Homo-oligomer: A and B are copies of this chain.
Amino acid sequence: MPLPIALLDRLAAVLGPHGLLTNPSDLDPYLAEQRGLFQGTAQAVARPLDTAQVAQVVGLCAEAGVAIVPQGGNTGLVGGGVAGGDDLVVSLGRMNRLRWIDAENYRIAVDAGCVLAEVQRAAREAACLFPLSLAAEGSCQIGGNLSSNAGGVGVLRYGNARELCLGLEVVLADGRVWNGMTALAKDNTGYALRQMFIGAEGTLGIITGAVLKLFPAPRESATALCALSELGAAPRLLSLARKRSGDSVTAFELIPRLGLEMAVRHMPGCRDPLADPAPWYALIELTSSREASDNDESGLGATLEGLLASAFDEGLISDAVLAGSLEQQAALWRLREGLSEAQKFEGASIKHDVSVPISRVVEFITEASAAVERVLPGIRPCPFGHIGDGNIHFNLTQPPGMDRAAFLALWAPMNRIVHDIVDAMEGSISAEHGIGQLKTAELARYKAPVELEMMRAIKAAFDPRNLMNPGKVLPPAP
């Protein structure tokens, strides 16, 4: 059904020139989905310039009974920003003002459409750190980061997007604006409304602004790639590192031998820095904003060296390379970042973004790898990622030579095997990417009925007419 002409006219009047896109070729970037799993079909995209315009657009849509799909940088991985033919896309990209920054008190306030890298840059220019960091940071927007409670590589130290947010401004389903832009560290005046919108993937309202925490900029960092004697050494090495470093572990990433080989094989500038192959690697980064003393002995490099020596003595690691320069640091990170992209050169892969309690990470990887190998001998599990958070990107690369389509036909059964094991270990079937529309059926399978009911009650309380990003997050009622 086409959007009512009268509504389009009123939207165009509110949004002004360039504010409403209806020309099919203009719509393409807002309808595409980066993995090609979904294709949007919306007929119009609203591009408001400020919160007042968002409120007017939502109000007009509520009046007309038209559903809204909010969109940030459109970098999501679960189809949360994909709009159907009857929906209006509301793209926040033109709302990209830095509202204010207070470096002395480590606060920044931004429009929802600010690109994450721009927020990082504004912090850096004020000698601060905004620690949210992830692969899409050059194009994802802070409103989308908050709506999906984004994770990334700094979570171990600084928390998810949720922990970095102090205040929110939200346009509600009926078009009213909730101004929750507080910059307070402590505020116990009623229910935690802000927390409802964070991670709700736009199904309860549209985030239009946020107050975020900043941190002192790191003055020092130390990075090492460690060859683990066995997978079981990973959590023990993390625990040792946290204890010995004064809890200054910023990143702790797991890399399997297969992943390192793929990166070295396919990614320019990647090489194996260690003499002998090991089955597993951990990339450790310590950072500190403490002022360096004149005495080198007190530096983080020395701390890292000391803890690696202990790890060696305890048989946790067989070898390690400590980056001696920023360039070497970057080279080690290239291995971790490259392995994700390198997988595509090895054929199709079936992906899982899961987490388990850190105490069960080893058991999970071992059991899940064996299970998928039993079903498809030759399949190549490549579990990697933020093991410090219990978050494993459990990716399965196809057996060499197998037909791509035949392999991808196994997506659902492989999901079932992996998610059943995650569930049995009290883990999460979506650690950081969210539910969107990709995982609503899985959510229905694994969540307790009482929890789904609570979620539906919240949805009904905030969006009784189901006009905010319908079909996302919540599975259809049974």
Contacts and interface: CB of A to CB of B under 8 A. Distances in A.
A107 B358 CA distance: 10
A295 interface: yes
Nearest to A174: B450
Contacts of A148: 188
Given A185-B391, A188-B431, A359-B105, A293 B298 contact: yes
Interface in A145-186: 148-149, 151, 155-156, 159-160, 162-163, 172, 176-186
Interface in A182-198: 182-193, 195-196, 198
Contact of A239 (B105, B184, B200, B426): B105
Contact of A151 (B179, B186, B193): B186
A303 interface: yes
Contact of A290 (B303, B451, B474): B303
A250 to B, nearest CB: 12
Contact of A306 (B176, B181, B192, B291): B291
A430 B187 CA distance: 6
Interface stretch (A255-263, A406-414, A458-466): A458-466
B185 A358 contact: yes
A427 B431 CA distance: 34
A38 interface: no
A248 interface: yes
Interface string A262-296: 00000000000000000000000000111101110
Contacts of A192: 149, 162, 195-196, 198-199
A333 interface: no
A159 to B, nearest CB: 8
Interface stretch (A2-10, A16-24, A315-323, A432-440): A432-440
Interface string A397-436: 0000000000000000000000000000011111111110
Interface string A233-259: 001100100111111100000000000
Given A359-B104, A447-B190, A184 B473 contact: no
A106 interface: yes
Interface string A215-234: 11001000000000000000
A180 to B, nearest CB: 7
A177 B246 CA distance: 39
Nearest to A287: B246
B291 A246 contact: yes
A477 interface: no
A247 B428 contact: no
Contacts of A13: none
A242 B215 CA distance: 9
A448 interface: yes
A347 interface: no
A386 interface: yes
Given A106-B242, A187-B428, A244-B290, 19 more contacts: A104-B359, A105-B235, A107-B359, A151-B186, A178-B450, A182-B357, A185-B358, A188-B428, A189-B446, A190-B447, A190-B455, A191-B196, A191-B204, A191-B455, A192-B196, A193-B455, A196-B196, A216-B242, A242-B289
26 contacts: A102-B359, A104-B239, A104-B359, A105-B359, A148-B188, A151-B186, A159-B163, A177-B450, A180-B451, A184-B428, A186-B390, A187-B431, A188-B431, A188-B433, A189-B429, A190-B447, A190-B455, A192-B195, A192-B199, A193-B455, A243-B291, A245-B290, A247-B290, A248-B290, A297-B298, A457-B461
* Interface pairs A-B: 10 shortest CB-CB: A246-B290, A298-B298, A195-B195, A457-B461, A187-B428, A185-B389, A186-B431, A105-B358, A183-B357, A461-B461
